[in-house]
Amino acid sequence: MPLRLAFDMDGVLADMEGELVRHAEQLFGTSTARRAVDPPPADVTDEPDPIVADITPPLVKLRLTPRQQRRLWHHVETVDNFWETLQEIEPGSIERLAALAAARRWEIIFLTKRPASAGVTSQRQTQRWLQAKGFTLPSVFVVRGSRGRIAQSLGLDFVIDDRPENCLDVVVDSQARAILVWREDERQLPAAALRLGIGVVKTVGECLDILAQVDTPSPDRSTVIERVLRLLGLKEPPGPTAPANQIGRGH
């Protein structure tokens, strides 16, 4: 059976924070909106809005208070087709993914937590953006819950994401494997990632290299899952595992 893959959008394929920086500079000034490794200064009088946090992606590289983040997202809501203005993080990676999917008969779904903006729906904007980058007829799902449960219900093999918590969600709530695209300093990588069997790559290109390499017949009759784990230097995480025929999906 062909691989069934899910790719997160922002932080994996699309540079959401790069575009948000530009809009934040317009709203708050360059010094306030600069990218920063350190978290924003604590403000005990400015509690995060749990409703806003639940429906918007986290902004981990923007030096903004919760109040400023709310204002920024409200501004995004007024920008016509905001999600079509983003740049591709790795130019050509989406076109390459489309070519591999067509050649290997992979089934691809794109996951996103994008809130609405002016113009067409965020789902439609995402579809048009992907088509413009070379992926025709993309399947896009706007996530409002557990990515692990989505992976389980769709019978996915791999979920590729840039957020450790999303990858943890996948390995806990599904039989899918999570691959974390981690472009930051390796020393900041959560220790639990490798322990729980989460694969880590530096780029989407590296991820595609691995998937393309393993999605070929193997003389040792190992499954695709097993070959990916070997290439990522991983072992099966501890705890109960699914039956072998479910883990390997017959590859």
- Structure confidence at residue 38 (pLDDT): 43
Q: d(Cα 183, Cα 181) in Å, to the nearest integer?
A: 6
Task: Enumerate domains of the chain plus CATH numbers.
Answer: 4-14+85-248 (3.40.50.1000), 16-83 (no CATH)
For the chain, list residues with pLDDT below 50. Answer: 35-48, 50-53, 238-251
- Structure confidence at residue 195 (pLDDT): 82
pTM of the model: 0.81
Q: d(Cα 93, Cα 133) in Å, to the nearest integer?
A: 9
DSSP 88-129: BSSTTHHHHHHHHHHHHT-EEEEEE-PPP-SSS-HHHHHHHH
CB 169 within 8 A of CB 148: yes
The secondary element (H helix, E strand) that includes residue 145 is none
The per-residue pLDDT of the chain, averaged, comes to 83
- Structure confidence at residue 139 (pLDDT): 98
- Structure confidence at residue 56 (pLDDT): 66
